[in-house]
Amino acid sequence: MLSGRATAALVALGWYDDIVARARPCDAILSRWASPEYVERTALLEPGGHGWIIDRSWFDPLVRRLAVRDGVTRVATSTQAPSTGRRVLATGKHAPPDGMRRVLGPDRVALTAAGPTGAVRGLGHRLTVEAVAAGWWSAVDDGVHVAVTYVTDPVVLRRHGGLDQAWRAVVRAAPGWLPADFRAIRPRVRPIRNRLQAGLAGPVRVGDCALSVDPLSGHGLALALETGLRWHDSDYPAWLAEQADRHADDGLAAHAAVPYETDYWQAGRSC
């Protein structure tokens, strides 16, 4: 999902039309979070306006093309200077340390499986999010595939003796909207980090390299785009620190709202 918050950055970058031409508007968020009932929140009421359902398989290459069109070049090594302009580090959440690191939340892992569009019945143009005892599920359908993600504690993979066993076990216990045949789809594993790691050493950092936030916030991509606009401002470090505070607070509130007293949710309330 690309949150509505990204609109301002996309417009400022001149990328809005190229991105929304391919994206599918997200009409609503259907969640089971603080109460046992599903609650639907229309995207019309979102402060940033509605978001978009995107597939990173077209979104990432498109963003790279737009950046190149606008003069961004890739240098081969961290010591090589670009022929014009300034060097920034944009290598994502696994950036080398630069002496500054603030942990904003526990490490998590996301298991994502893609099925055919329509496999999660009744989803339509909505994002669904659901808290369970040891993590949370989400599903979104871009009209080609439905992507189902389970975010949990990495210890789950060890406890079940590996990815396949863990996935089968979590799908068995998943919410009723998840078709049982997702058990047979091998998920992709992605580590989740919650970090502010933008110090003053080395090149200026943008995107997850500077600040990576829990996907629960839904704002990782919007933040990354915003850092691309702000990195040369003198107040950039202060802005990053303020964003980190805000995300840490939002993360605590999201974990506090869930009525489970399990290790997973407690860890997120005490970080």
Q: Which of residues 139-158 bind ligand FAD (CB under 6 A)?
A: none
Question: Quick check: 208 binds ligand FAD (CB under 6 A)?
Answer: yes
Q: Which of 60, 61, 62, 50 is nearest to 24 (CA)?
A: 50
Only segment of 13-21, 155-163, 201-209, 251-259 that touches ligand FAD (CB under 6 A): 201-209
Distance CA 77, CA 98 (A): 16
Distance CA 9, CA 28 (A): 22
SS3 102: strand
Distance CA 2, CA 225 (A): 11
Only segment of 117-125, 168-176, 220-228, 248-256 that touches ligand FAD (CB under 6 A): 220-228
Q: Could you tell me if residue 46 is left (phi over 0), alpha (psi between -120 and 50 degrees) or otherwise beta?
A: beta
Reading the block at residue 50, the tokens are: 């509605």
Nearest approach in angstroms of CB 38 to ligand FAD is 20
Q: How many residues bind ligand FAD (CB under 6 A)?
A: 19
Evaluate whether 78 touches 89 at the Cβ level (below 8 Å). yes
Comparison of 35 and 86: residue with beta carbon closer to ligand FAD: 86
Among 102, 125, 183, 190, binds ligand FAD (CB under 6 A): 190
Comparison of 10 and 259: residue with beta carbon closer to ligand FAD: 10
Beta strand 145-152 with 108-116 is: antiparallel
Only segment of 32-40, 117-125, 171-179, 213-221 that touches ligand FAD (CB under 6 A): 213-221
Nearest approach in angstroms of CB 110 to ligand FAD is 3
Question: Quick check: 90 binds ligand FAD (CB under 6 A)?
Answer: yes
Question: Quick check: 110 binds ligand FAD (CB under 6 A)?
Answer: yes
Q: How far is CA 70 from CA 14, 146, 226, in A?
A: 9, 32, 16
Only segment of 12-20, 117-125, 206-214, 229-237 that touches ligand FAD (CB under 6 A): 206-214
Nearest approach in angstroms of CB 65 to ligand FAD is 13
